[in-house]
Each structure stands twice: as structure tokens, then as C-alpha cells.
Amino acid sequence: MSPAFEARTTATASSVEACIASRWKSGTRGLSRVKREGAVRLRAQTFFKGVTIGVSVRKDAGKTLVEYFERRIAAPLYETMVRGCLHPDASDGS
């Protein structure tokens, strides 16, 4: 699967991952987290249509690389949640 979008940010990988996980926790089903080869991968299904979505977060050239994936076209809300976590001052909502 090719990324629906990718972005680099100065926010830390751990803060981006925590922010996305927090936002997806209430808006998806079956949220899972896997850490492998220096990357954290989150995977879930959208709440209403069950579209598989995922994100990979890792350090790359001194920044955090975020790649967002969709198995099929998902509601724009999920991509918006990810994009909202790219800013260094983004909150996980808690």
C-alpha cells in the first residue's frame, strides 16, 4: 500500500504517535500499535465503514516522518486527525 500522504515534522515521534493514538482511540475500531525497526505503526478500522487505515511514524534525517495509509478511500476526518498531530504544539486532547 502506498501512503495517501507523507509529511515531516519537527514534533517528536513519540508525541505524534501519542496524539494520533489518542484521537483514533474514540473514532476507530481495533486500534493496534506495533513498534518495529525504529518505526511505530498504528492500524485501525474506521468506525462506520470499516476501512483499514494506518500510520507509520519514525525518525528520518533529524525530523519525524509520518506516513498515512488507507486500504480504500476513508472519510477525510481520519487524515485530518493525523495532520492535526504534525504540529509540535499539538495536543492529544487530554
From CA 60, how far away is CA 91, in angstroms rounded? 22
Q: What predicted TM-score, i.e. pTM, was given to this entire model?
A: 0.89
* All structural domains of the chain: 5-84 (3.30.310.80)
Could you read off the pLDDT of 31-60 as tens digits, one per residue?
Answer: 999 999 999 999 999 998 999 999 999 999
Helix-helix angle 76-84:13-25, to 10 degrees: 140
